Structure formats: C-alpha cells, structure tokens
Amino acid sequence: MVRKILRYTIDLKDAVFMMAKAWDNVSQTTIQNCWRKAGFPGEVLEPTHDPFELDEEVEETAEEHGLWERVVQQYPLLVDAPFSHFDQ
C-alpha cells in the first residue's frame, strides 16, 4: 500500500485567517475555565484606559515605577499577588 503525503504551503495571510477562525471557535466557558485553572481572580476589571497608550501622567508613573507596579495600577485585584507568583 502506497501512502500519499499531502503537502501544501501556507502564507502569512492564510495563517492569520486560520488563527482567527480557531479563536472564534473558543467558547466563553473555555476561556473562563482556563482563567480559573490558572488561578486568576474571578472578576477582572477593565482598565480605565489603554495601558499601551502612554499619556504624560502614565509616562511619569512608568519612569518612577516598574512594570509590575503599572500592572497593579491597571488591575487593582492583583495588588496582593507578588510578581514571583506568575514567574514560574
């Protein structure tokens, strides 16, 4: 018996479309279960503004504080979780 091996190439655009389709098939329940198993807080607050867009006030804060302090500022429920808890 001779097996045929199918080979084809995928360009970046096709890969992105495949990834988007796969992500669209992930249910809200699956995401909630993953967060729960990872030990994240049950309720996550949305940031007051986009943490990747630095304004003048945040730029000063970023200079004064490290990355973890900025994360805690955006997500106050993480204030009691040390960074080492996530760095395993």
What are the tens digits of pLDDT across the range 13-34?
999 999 999 999 999 999 888 9
Contact criterion met (CB below 8 Å) for 75 and 47? yes
pLDDT tens-digit series, residues 47-58:
676 766 665 555
Amino acid letter for position 24: D
Q: Fill in the DSSP letter of residue 50.
A: -
As a 3-state breakdown, the chain gives helix, strand, coil percent values, each rounded to 5, of: 55, 0, 45
Supply the pTM of this predicted model.
0.36
Q: Per-residue pLDDT tens for 72-83?
A: 777 777 667 666
Look at residue 18 in the predicted model and tell me its pLDDT: 93
**By C-alpha distance, which of 20, 18, 38 is closest to 30?**
38
